[in-house]
Amino acid sequence: MTSFDVQQVREQFPILQQQINGHPLVYLDSAATAHKPECVLQAMLDFYRTDNANVHRSAHTLAGRATQKFEQARQRVADFLHAQFCDEIIWTRGTTEAINLVAQSWGRQTLQAGDEVLVSAMEHHANLVTWQQIAKQTGAQLRIIPLLINGELDLHAYQAMLSSNTKMVALVHVSNVLGTVNPVAEVVRLAKQVGALTLIDGAQAVAHAPVDVQALGCDFYAFSGHKVYGPTGIGVLYGRQEILAQLPPWQFGGEMIKQVSYTDSEFNLPPLRFEAGTPAIAEALGLSAALDFVSQQQSAGAETYQQQLLQHLIAGLQQIKSVSIVGQPAHRQGVVSIVLAQAHHHDVCQLLDAQGIAVRGGHHCAMPLLNSLGLSGTLRVSLGVYNNKTEIDIFLQALHQALELLND
């Protein structure tokens, strides 16, 4: 293992210092939601204790402090994603709302019969269903980019699907089922050749490796705070400035307006145009603290450490005869899904939980992908920066024992 100090990291997560069913908590479900370090909890608590006020709307001191910190958090996100401009960052409730914002604003304005939207066969429902429904509403066609047998995107098929009819390519950066890291920069480059826009679902990517939206060249990038050690209820949509300036709002109310009469309204410039209502202020500050935390861990070698831990997990799973790993992508991050011979994943999850081990069983909001693989569900193990080799070994031993018990 790398010299990355995982014990020092673990000490920053209060929730890990507990027992579940009489056993130390082994949390292997970070793809569903990651835990929050003390700095995130403290940032939110400090706001409510000292600066609680609405932003942008009052002249008093508390409102001024709240607004300043809120906009500093927006700048922190811009820096984290290497966005060119701060006003390319839009606050949302999460990845799902960010994708819906693009579909409802750009999609309704742009898509029409004969247009095509391309998504991959590995998409989370947040990306798949959103574009499926907007295609139905606009008369556009949704097309599915197939996968190779190892769980990677079929780039040759993708390239053949692209045409002047392609208006949007919406793709997951890292699969929440397979762990596949998609070649996003190449996907974007090919889309640009036919004039298509690109949206990247980064929910599973930002916690594991640095993201540079300018280097990727994408038009939109979305992620959720709670997947990257931040709060729930806050997310981000990055959109290129020149595109956002052309899009209409998709929700209406306070904050997003410039002038209002009884008969008409003039809307604010982005990003405020897309942020109707009181935002999640404390959550934005918590997310900013989370991004500071993640950047510090990445500088300390977290990416290499997590890859080593992932390989240790995979090697251990390969030693259990009744376990099959779903997908064998050349580049994987953070997630391993397995199928269990003669045992149901939900039964195994319950047996593991009895020993304090948290994993996920089910379709992981990717039903079409699992159906295409002939599966009703999998047992998913997902890693965070706080996991260690001891926890992986505890899980592997408990999994082996659970399968022996169920197969007796």
Catalytic residue annotation:
365
In three state form, how does the secondary structure of 122-156 look?
CCCHHHHHHHHHHHHHHCCEEEEECECCCCCECHH
What is the enclosing helix (H) or strand (E) of 266? strand 265-267
Q: What's the CA gap between 43 and 287, in Å, rounded?
A: 9
Q: What's the CA gap between 145 and 114, in Å, rounded?
A: 18
Sequence-distant (≥ 6) Cβ neighbours of residue 312 within 8 angstroms: 389, 392
The CA-based dihedral angle spanning residues 3, 27, 97, 131, taken in that order and rounded to the nearest 10 degrees: 90
- 141-145 and 116-120 beta bridge pairing: parallel
Q: What's the CA gap between 388 and 318, in Å, rounded?
A: 19
Q: Which two tokens stand for residue 37?
A: 């370090």
159-165 long-range CB contacts below 8 Å, 24 or more apart?
A: 159/190, 161/118, 162/118, 162/190, 162/191, 162/193, 162/194, 162/196, 163/116, 163/194, 164/194, 164/195, 165/114, 165/115, 165/116
Q: Which two tokens stand for residue 282?
A: 């404390």
Q: What's the CA gap between 241 and 243, in Å, rounded?
A: 5
- The single-letter code of the amino acid at 48 is Y
Q: Which two tokens stand for residue 178?
A: 């397979």
- Residue 406: count of CB within 10 angstroms of its CB: 15
Contact call for residues 290 and 37 (beta carbons, < 8 A): yes
Q: Which two tokens stand for residue 253?
A: 């109310």
Compute the Cα dihedral for 245, 251, 257, 259 and give only its sign: positive
- The single-letter code of the amino acid at 31 is A
Alpha helices, H only, 5-90: 6-10, 38-46, 61-81
Ramachandran angles phi, psi of 80, nearest 5°: -60, -40
Ramachandran angles phi, psi of 117, nearest 5°: -115, 130
